[in-house]
A = this chain, B = another copy of it.
């Protein structure tokens, strides 16, 4: 019955995460060995694997600790009077800055979140779900205002912007864009394209291409 066990487990778990916050912050993810973490947390190396499946999961837990604070109130801090495009750019740039604050950190995070291996638990999914919600809120508000079309798919639309954000990140890690100003410009360009569409004025998507 006694909760001694459960309590200790909780304590150990957070001790590991505390250690991760300290050491990842100091020496980075790859610069910190699991043994380092174990020593810092005051447990044996093997013990860590009773709490996390692998090193990446510790990293995700570490991220959660930092991210979930941010996510909830995220969309509220974006000036609600601004134009939709600006709000979206602001939201995503904020996220972008946070994620790339530490280059290595961001790369690992996005890799794990976007293309997780089978072994990773659903943690990553929860993370971007909550972010997508923030986007959805902005879009819904804009829709209420008449700034977005009515039939808009409420699931696909946030995903759409998320996709553009992803590709901007990819550009960052591929060296195509090198500073936040450039990132913001391409993000804005892409978002604008998404909002405006690519069809010619009066064009109809169901029209068959003919002229060969």
Chain A contact residues, CB within 8 Å of chain B: 80-85, 107, 110-111, 114-117, 124-125, 142, 145-150, 152-153, 156-157, 159-160, 162-164, 166-167, 169-171, 173-175, 186, 189-190, 192-201, 203, 205-212
Contact B145–A209 (Cβ < 8 Å): yes
Distance of A2 from chain B, by nearest CB (Å):
38
CA distance A36 to B207 in the complex (A): 55
Contacting A174 at CB < 8 Å: which of B116, B142, B152, B174? B116
Complex contacts, A124 vs chain B, CB 8 Å: 174
Contact B199–A148 (Cβ < 8 Å): yes
- Known: A80-B212, A194-B194, A197-B199; 9 extra A-B contacts, CB below 8 A, are A81-B210, A145-B211, A146-B203, A147-B199, A148-B203, A157-B193, A160-B194, A163-B167, A194-B197
